[in-house]
Structure 1
């Protein structure tokens, strides 16, 4: 046991990355490594990278510096999306020893010899067309809820997005394997599973570019609902054109799926949606939101939106602002457009100045605060179920209701990872909601 090496992980980006980091970590533990926190001294640091925003690129260098400060002799490996897109760039960062692209990241153990530092970062990345196989992943042990990967890659050609270049074609896990992973998670006393992927509504496409859907997303949801031992299932993010009415209706009657949808909009202007090559118009988005509200009035609906896309005039932006302001949604995730290499949008006319992008972003973030507040107020006085998380934040424990209202109550370690019936009483100064206990469930 004395010879076991220590490995620490840092994940940038999305829930999908978290699920994959967890799987890579379990693989390394099987190879004789002990996982430690990133704040600790380790023999190896693994950074799972993201390429969605410019900020994630900058963060990578900061994380490498942090690792080197903890142990300047540690072996540093970079994996993930940015490692696939810009391997040489990452390899040139001082301290980086190994860079693995999309097909190699799950074989990290095969590329490690004696953990001695390299003079230059060693690169193993593939042509993205070779990323045509599927590796299932899920995260456990990191949080109260688990992220379960069901799909990878994307066949869409959105003009601002690098993900197809970083992750390859759309492909899915076999239904039997998803159910097996869900069952394994449920045996770990984890109460909530979040389904994740790049484009999960496209679930069912097989490996090797097989465009035929073996199963549909609805069938996946129906089968997962039957898995014993799972208290809650949450759909992370789903394209509006792929969120069908049948799925919405099933969730409204489901045993485990919670009334929370995160649906990317990106723009409330059909002109901009067309420039983005999105596969719907705003009218479709309105239909989805109206359908959810019809069968689940208390549902939480989150929205992704991009501001400052090339060609977005003040009129286009105001179209988006008013569209969102009038719609019965619960919160926004606002992204300020940033140019990404090798995307169509990077060469488009009508570049929006950085200060205008920042101003528009600020306006929509303000709208998000207003929307979340209105949604929380609409839930006061209702009984909900809360799942408590594991952190003690300034003497309070926080949790989320099934419809994603953040609640708080004085810290009590016995509440960690337990479900309770509660009544939502008032909104606190920090924006979370106070509660009274009604009964304990699990």
Structure 2
């Protein structure tokens, strides 16, 4: 291949997708490609798609047009979850040359013998049952943190979710390989690793549908805590039924794992949780939050919640609202339910009108603002450690404390990718927190 060929990447969706895009990008680098920004002119554009976002097809078409604007003759490839679920739909989009499903995306350079445009999009997509092997990945790009994939796929049968159809069965990286990747990341002077996967609490299931856990999530956490050179480890999203007391207690005493948990709830009403086929009732969720706050009163807890699920009445929603209002949580990620083909929920009765879904979503987003403000206020006067980001945003540099309070101070390039002890002093008009430096750089 010509060593001067350029490739640009666009990632839709979750942290897991970002980690996989990074791994795919490294495979291009190994083949002699030069990575450029997606907005720049390139010979090939790779779009890593997501099936969770609403109007995924419209979003995809917009991104393809963006690539064509930069270079009308560029070769355009689609990979990822939407490419697995609706390969032909993406292949039919004007300008798309190649669509790769779940098992093929990591071998994309094998399909690039010729970068000339195709009259029709070429599809290489497996039956999802064939996605039974594991490919490890991690993202490096943002200098301050990396996303480390430890697990893929899901064995849960939530009635609204297409992820098992897009990513296959639950399977994990080996502990040995996770630790190797973590060490590689630490050698790049990256201060924080975020653990990611589809269902990371299920970590330990082997390849080929082996349901036996080689290691537990707690064993993974304990092993990663011993990796030299990593200042911070953050658990991304973990199911409440898989977040055990032993893990919470370990994090509370850990030097590197930070007091921040993101725990999907989806609904605060048990009737809706049953319709969703979630694996817990709300009482367990209350218990998880109480357990975290007991050993880490300063911990940040984020919550996923879905509004407008089929069968959700006004009473159901108000109960969810009140339940969340009373819980000692820090912020919400609110998702408006949208129908997905080949899911049980798409055929359920009690469809909630879209305007009602939108209204409920707005109410919970308002509650999230209130919760985040209350959490930030509770942290004023405390001493925390901040990891500073790399962007200059309107003359300010931003950073996050270990318990995920977002702070800002006037731009200073010397602060980029450094950790400093600070005292949080006040909340600014934009909702971010100001601080005073306590001493010299921590790391």
TM-score range, shorter chain: over 0.9
Partner Cα separation in structure 2 for residue 12 and residue 89 of structure 1:
17
Deviations 1:195-239 (A, max 9, x none): 000000000000000000000000000000000000000000000
SS in 1 for 2:35: strand
**Residue equivalent to 1:262:** 262
Partner Cα separation in structure 2 for residue 170 and residue 55 of structure 1:
27
Question: Is 1:95 equivalent to 2:92 in the alignment?
Answer: no
**Does structure 2 retain, via aligned residues, the 8 Å contact 1:100–1:123?**
yes
SS in 2 for 1:302: strand
**Does structure 2 retain, via aligned residues, the 8 Å contact 1:150–1:203?**
yes
**Does structure 2 retain, via aligned residues, the 8 Å contact 1:23–1:137?**
yes
**Residue equivalent to 2:138:** 138
Shift of 1:372: 0.1
**Residue equivalent to 2:70:** 70
Shift of 1:2: 7.4
**Does structure 1 retain, via aligned residues, the 8 Å contact 2:150–2:173?**
yes
Question: Is 1:391 equivalent to 2:404 in the alignment?
Answer: no
**Residue equivalent to 1:315:** 315
Deviations 1:110-141 (A, max 9, x none): 00122111111000000000000000000012
Partner Cα separation in structure 2 for residue 336 and residue 24 of structure 1:
31
Between 1:136-145 and 1:85-94, the stretch displaced more is 136-145
Between 1:132-141 and 1:50-59, the stretch displaced more is 50-59
Partner Cα separation in structure 1 for residue 285 and residue 57 of structure 2:
31
Question: Is 1:376 equivalent to 2:372 in the alignment?
Answer: no
The TM-score with structure 1 as length reference comes to 0.99
SS in 2 for 1:46: strand
Question: Is 1:249 equivalent to 2:265 in the alignment?
Answer: no
Partner Cα separation in structure 2 for residue 3 and residue 141 of structure 1:
22
**Residue equivalent to 1:441:** 442
* Structure 2 unaligned blocks of 5 or more: none
SS in 2 for 1:323: helix
SS in 1 for 2:360: helix
**Does structure 1 retain, via aligned residues, the 8 Å contact 2:143–2:190?**
no
Question: Is 1:110 equivalent to 2:110 in the alignment?
Answer: yes
Partner Cα separation in structure 1 for residue 4 and residue 205 of structure 2:
40
Partner Cα separation in structure 2 for residue 96 and residue 191 of structure 1:
38
Partner Cα separation in structure 2 for residue 57 and residue 254 of structure 1:
43
**Does structure 2 retain, via aligned residues, the 8 Å contact 1:12–1:56?**
no
Partner Cα separation in structure 2 for residue 348 and residue 294 of structure 1:
39
Q: 4+ residue runs of structure 1 moved beyond 4 angstroms?
A: none
Matched pairs, number: 442
Partner Cα separation in structure 1 for residue 4 and residue 210 of structure 2:
42
* Superposed counterparts of 1:212-251, under 5 Å: 212-251=212-251
Partner Cα separation in structure 1 for residue 38 and residue 378 of structure 2:
40
**Residue equivalent to 1:85:** 85
SS in 2 for 1:181: helix
Partner Cα separation in structure 1 for residue 369 and residue 363 of structure 2:
10
Between 1:257-266 and 1:105-114, the stretch displaced more is 105-114
Partner Cα separation in structure 1 for residue 144 and residue 436 of structure 2:
22
* Superposed counterparts of 1:99-248, under 5 Å: 99-248=99-248
Partner Cα separation in structure 1 for residue 62 and residue 128 of structure 2:
27
Deviations 1:350-407 (A, max 9, x none): 0000000000000000000000000000000101000000000000000000000000
**Residue equivalent to 1:44:** 44
In 2 relative to 1, CA 163–294 (structure 1 residues): closer, same or farther, beyond 3 Å? Answer: same
Partner Cα separation in structure 1 for residue 188 and residue 387 of structure 2:
16
In 2 relative to 1, CA 336–130 (structure 1 residues): closer, same or farther, beyond 3 Å? Answer: same
**Does structure 1 retain, via aligned residues, the 8 Å contact 2:2–2:32?**
no
**Residue equivalent to 2:360:** 360
**Does structure 1 retain, via aligned residues, the 8 Å contact 2:131–2:168?**
yes
Shift of 1:269: 0.3
Between 1:138-147 and 1:224-233, the stretch displaced more is 138-147
Deviations 1:163-218 (A, max 9, x none): 00000000000000000000000000000000000000000000000000000000
**CA-based RMSD:** 0.9
Partner Cα separation in structure 2 for residue 83 and residue 187 of structure 1:
34
Shift of 1:412: 0.5
Partner Cα separation in structure 1 for residue 75 and residue 28 of structure 2:
14
Between 1:359-368 and 1:58-67, the stretch displaced more is 58-67
Shift of 1:55: 3.4
SS in 2 for 1:274: helix
* Structure 1 unaligned blocks of 5 or more: none
Shift of 1:39: 1.2
Partner Cα separation in structure 2 for residue 370 and residue 58 of structure 1:
32
Between 1:114-123 and 1:297-306, the stretch displaced more is 114-123
**Does structure 2 retain, via aligned residues, the 8 Å contact 1:422–1:435?**
yes
